[in-house]
């Protein structure tokens, strides 16, 4: 036995097999390339319905193929597209998936100050439908694939896990031709340990890049119908118990009611971290209160944060009446009137219990409340995991002053499907934006700051490089 020689040989083998350190990409070239792809994708109109996402899928397919990356292009339905691409790793870790949707919501063209599909650049912003939802993310994900290929693999380096790129359709409508279709028809192509999706926030507050909220869990959407019944007849003879009046009373009571405050591990960490950097002093104290384990402090903090609707919404089940129906003619008293409530429960909360509480609040036997569309809960992803750490490191390498927090989103995303399927899914919106820019999502004059497009691309590349090291 010559242990010393053996050890030396082992060391040499190990260092020979170790991945070549990735050099910093040429970020100025990468930035131009990302922008060009985003502009090209905005110019391909994919308003859903009908979607026509296949054109964007083909654009992505040819860009990936040109770099020598393996792709799989599908047409789930005429004109709809699904694209999966893969960079092979050594397989020592399970794959990571980066995804984005190619469809966009419609536009009120006359309310835009630019052509929403021209991808015009003005004053440091790129304008266009999909710029932030979700073609910006697609462009950043595409660039990440191209850079990993050219900068790591083509230079003899290795990745510890496969990196899978997915561009899907129909996210803004049913999802039937999107992630749902891929999971059903090609699970083998997209099965991964981790997924990076849309659904987070990178927020500029008071002109300063403040925090990155990484969505690791989300509220569950349900539709609940409130139906009031009463005597019908000719409107010339007013009747007590008129169904419309009854419904109005029930809705007013529901409007005055708030579900109790519930703090879960994600919201506790969110407010605890954010409370350290938040600019407003009173709100900062309220965040620390909410993150405490003292019930009285939690209630006190929640009362302050209730003044900020987005924060209030993550602290309790939310109830929003959205549709009212009743009556057929102005001179006929209808026997029935109804309203739809959009209810978003916190993960782990039962919609049936919410309905029972609402029944007590309404307190009228002529009013029934039923769940007409039930959402599905899925487990939260772990914010102490390697992916979360990689995101944090990547962000702090770009801006050491930023805080990275786990985040419970009030909106629903495809990640719920992936989490239910056993994946660790995290939601990002990697582009630093202030509230005004963010509010343009699904609105008019949607735009992305060019500097934020760069930041987001670097953030995703850095996170994937770290987690696939
Ligand atoms: Zn989206």
CATH code, domain carrying 288 = 3.30.70.360
Measured in angstroms, how far is the CA atom of residue 171 from the centroid of ligand 1? 7
**Please, which pLDDT band fits residue 14 given cuts at 50, 70 and 90?**
very low
305 & 353 share domain: yes
pLDDT at position 16 is 44
Residue-wise over 124-139: b if at least 16 C-beta within 10 A, else e? ebbbbbbbbbbbbbbb
Residue 379 within any structural domain of the chain: no
Residue 15 within any structural domain of the chain: no
Measured in angstroms, how far is the CA atom of residue 166 from the centroid of ligand 1? 14
Question: How far, in Å, are 48, 224, 432 from residue 77 at the CA level?
Answer: 13, 32, 35
pLDDT at position 176 is 85
Measured in angstroms, how far is the CA atom of residue 318 from the centroid of ligand 1? 21
48 & 165 share domain: yes
108 & 74 share domain: yes
Give the mean pLDDT of 101-105: 97
Give the mean pLDDT of 275-297: 96
Average pLDDT value over all residues in the chain: 94
Residue 418 within any structural domain of the chain: yes
247 & 282 share domain: yes
161 & 275 share domain: no
353 & 424 share domain: no
Q: Are 318 and 225 a contacting pair, CB within 8 Å?
A: no
Tell me how far apart the alpha carbons of residues 324 and 244 are, in angstroms, rounded to a whole number: 10
238 & 195 share domain: no
Measured in angstroms, how far is the CA atom of residue 105 from the centroid of ligand 1? 9
Measured in angstroms, how far is the CA atom of residue 98 from the centroid of ligand 1? 14
Residue 402 within any structural domain of the chain: no
Measured in angstroms, how far is the CA atom of residue 100 from the centroid of ligand 1? 8
Measured in angstroms, how far is the CA atom of residue 59 from the centroid of ligand 1? 19
Residue 340 within any structural domain of the chain: yes
Measured in angstroms, how far is the CA atom of residue 431 from the centroid of ligand 1? 14
Measured in angstroms, how far is the CA atom of residue 23 from the centroid of ligand 1? 32
Give the mean pLDDT of 421-441: 96
Measured in angstroms, how far is the CA atom of residue 27 from the centroid of ligand 1? 26
pLDDT at position 15 is 44
Measured in angstroms, how far is the CA atom of residue 416 from the centroid of ligand 1? 14
Q: Are 57 and 73 a contacting pair, CB within 8 Å?
A: yes
Ion ligand 1: protein residues whose beta carbon lies under 5 Å: 133-134, 198
Measured in angstroms, how far is the CA atom of residue 50 from the centroid of ligand 1? 16
Measured in angstroms, how far is the CA atom of residue 454 from the centroid of ligand 1? 19
| Distance, first Cα to last Cα, the chain | 34
Residue 62 within any structural domain of the chain: yes
Residue 386 within any structural domain of the chain: no
How do residues 182-212 score in pLDDT, each as one tens digit?
Answer: 999 999 999 999 999 999 999 999 899 999 9
Total domains present in the chain: 2
31 & 151 share domain: yes
Residue 10 within any structural domain of the chain: no
Last residue of a domain, one of 348, 373, 398: 373
Measured in angstroms, how far is the CA atom of residue 148 from the centroid of ligand 1? 25
Last residue of a domain, one of 373, 403, 434: 373
49 & 139 share domain: yes
pLDDT at position 269 is 98
The structure tokens listed for 100 are 């984005």
52 & 160 share domain: yes
Instruction: Look up the domain containing 265 and give its range.
Output: 220-373
How do residues 17-75 score in pLDDT, each as one tens digit?
Answer: 444 456 899 999 999 999 999 999 999 999 999 999 999 999 999 999 999 999 999 99
Last residue of a domain, one of 373, 403, 425: 373
Measured in angstroms, how far is the CA atom of residue 134 from the centroid of ligand 1? 5
Measured in angstroms, how far is the CA atom of residue 330 from the centroid of ligand 1? 41
pLDDT of 10 higher than 50: no
Measured in angstroms, how far is the CA atom of residue 197 from the centroid of ligand 1? 9
pLDDT at position 104 is 97
369 & 443 share domain: no
Tell me how far apart the alpha carbons of residues 193 and 95 are, in angstroms, rounded to a whole number: 6
317 & 181 share domain: no
Give the H/E segment covering residue 269. Answer: helix 265-277
**Please, which pLDDT band fits residue 9 given cuts at 50, 70 and 90?**
very low
How do residues 217-228 score in pLDDT, each as one tens digit?
Answer: 999 999 999 999
Nearest to 466 by CA among 377, 398, 370: 398
Measured in angstroms, how far is the CA atom of residue 101 from the centroid of ligand 1? 7
Report pTM: 0.89
Nearest to 271 by CA among 301, 239, 229: 301
How do residues 329-371 score in pLDDT, each as one tens digit?
Answer: 999 999 999 999 999 999 999 999 999 999 999 999 999 999 9
Give the CATH number for residue 424: 3.40.630.10
Q: What percent of the chain has pLDDT over 90?
A: 92
């Amino acid at each position: 036995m010559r242990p010393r020689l053996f050890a030396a040989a082992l060391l040499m083998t190990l260092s020979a097999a170790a991945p070549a350190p990735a050099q910093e990409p040429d970020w100025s070239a990468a930035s131009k390339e990302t922008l060009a792809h985003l502009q090209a994708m905005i110019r391909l109109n994919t308003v859903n319905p009908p979607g026509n996402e296949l054109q964007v899928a083909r654009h992505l397919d040819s860009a990936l193929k040109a770099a020598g990356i393996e792709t799989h292009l599908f047409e789930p339905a005429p004109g709809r597209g699904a694209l999966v691409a893969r960079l092979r790793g050594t397989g020592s870790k399970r794959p990571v998936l980066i995804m984005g949707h190619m469809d966009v919501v419609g536009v009120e063209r006359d309310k835009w100050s630019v052509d929403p599909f021209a991808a015009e650049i003005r004053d440091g912003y790129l304008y266009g439908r999909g710029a932030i939802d979700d073609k910006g993310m697609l462009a950043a994900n595409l660039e990440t694939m191209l850079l990993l290929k050219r900068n790591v693999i083509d230079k003899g380096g290795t990745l510890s896990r496969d990196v899978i790129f997915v561009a899907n359709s129909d996210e803004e409508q049913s999802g039937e031709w999107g992630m749902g279709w891929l999971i059903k028809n090609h699970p083998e192509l997209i099965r991964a340990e981790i997924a990076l999706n849309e659904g987070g926030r990178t927020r500029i507050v008071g002109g300063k890049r403040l925090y990155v909220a990484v969505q690791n869990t989300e509220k569950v959407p349900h539709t609940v119908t409130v139906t009031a019944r009463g005597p019908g007849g000719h409107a010339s003879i007013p009747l007590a118990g008129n169904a419309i009046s009854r419904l109005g009373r029930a809705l007013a009571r529901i409007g005055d009611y708030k579900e109790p405050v519930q703090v879960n591990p994600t919201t506790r960490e969110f407010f605890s971290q954010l409370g350290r950097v938040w600019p407003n002093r009173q709100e900062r104290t309220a965040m620390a209160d909410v993150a405490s384990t003292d019930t009285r402090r939690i209630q006190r903090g929640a009362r302050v944060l209730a003044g900020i609707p987005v924060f209030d919404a993550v602290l309790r089940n939310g109830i929003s009446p959205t549709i009212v129906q009743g009556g057929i003619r102005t001179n006929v008293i209808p026997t029935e009137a109804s309203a739809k409530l959009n209810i978003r429960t916190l993960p782990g909360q039962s919609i049936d219990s919410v309905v029972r509480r609402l029944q007590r609040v309404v307190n009228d036997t002529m009013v029934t409340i039923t769940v007409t569309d039930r959402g599905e809960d899925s487990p939260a992803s772990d914010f102490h995991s390697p992916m979360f750490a990689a995101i944090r490191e990547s962000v702090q390498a770009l801006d050491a002053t930023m805080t990275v927090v786990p985040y419970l989103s009030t909106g629903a995303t495809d990640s719920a499907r992936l989490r239910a399927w056993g994946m660790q899914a995290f939601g990002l919106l990697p582009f630093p934006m202030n509230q005004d820019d963010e509010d343009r999502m699904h609105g008019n004059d949607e735009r992305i700051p060019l500097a934020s497009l760069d930041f987001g691309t670097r953030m995703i590349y850095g996170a994937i490089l770290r987690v696939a090291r």
